[in-house]
Amino acid sequence: MSLINGLPSHVLLVHVVVVLIPLTALALVAAALWPRAGRRLGPLLPLLALVALVSVPLTTHAGEWLERHVDDDALVRRHAELGDGLLPWALGLFVLAAVVWWTGRRAPAEPGQGGGTRWSALPVRIVVGVLSLAVAAGAVVDVYRIGDSGAKAAWHDAYSKTVKGTEGGS
């Protein structure tokens, strides 16, 4: 999949990644830190994380196609290198989302209701919460860095700092 409606698919697919990775990160942190939020999200959390995960290699593959169809440029190469690093973060989001969802299913709805398992123990929740925060932050920062490098690669020397085509100037 290299073109969509005549446009390089990378420039369209990248929007899926830019929206879904931070959204998944936010949902993961909310579910990991507030079990009630996790129960409300239910299977939507790992499903969202799965779609985000799948969107990353689709987007990077489309980006590799686009890289072969533009002039050789250091900014493009830097963007491609950074883009290759997002998959582990997306995988981490998915794994943790599945863990948070699974442990939320096994825990009692309210404290003191019994039926709790070792998965709902406070130390496990703390570890999962800290890991979720770390992976979510890393994923969002990486998306920002990749997006910033992509914007620089696409727009450097591609626009004028002065207004063109206006009469009388300003």
Query: pLDDT tens track of the chain, all 170 residues?
Result: 789 999 999 999 999 999 999 999 999 999 999 989 999 999 999 999 999 999 999 999 999 999 999 988 999 999 999 999 999 999 999 999 999 999 887 665 555 555 444 445 788 889 999 999 999 999 999 999 999 999 999 988 777 778 877 665 55
Return the bridge partners of 8, or none: 3
Amino acid letter, residue 131: L
As a three-state string, the secondary structure of 131-163 is HHHHHHHHHHHHHHHHHHHHHHHHHCCCCCCCC
Tokens linked to 159? 């626009």
User: For residues 59 and 84, is the Cβ–Cβ distance under 8 A?
Assistant: no
How buried is 166 (Cβ within 10 angstroms: 0-12 exposed, 13-18 middle, 19+ buried)? Answer: exposed
* Three-state DSSP state, 8: strand
Q: What is the pTM of this model?
A: 0.84
* DSSP code for 93: H
User: For residues 107 and 35, is the Cβ–Cβ distance under 8 A?
Assistant: yes
Tokens linked to 93? 């989001």
Tokens linked to 137? 């932050």
Amino acid letter, residue 71: D
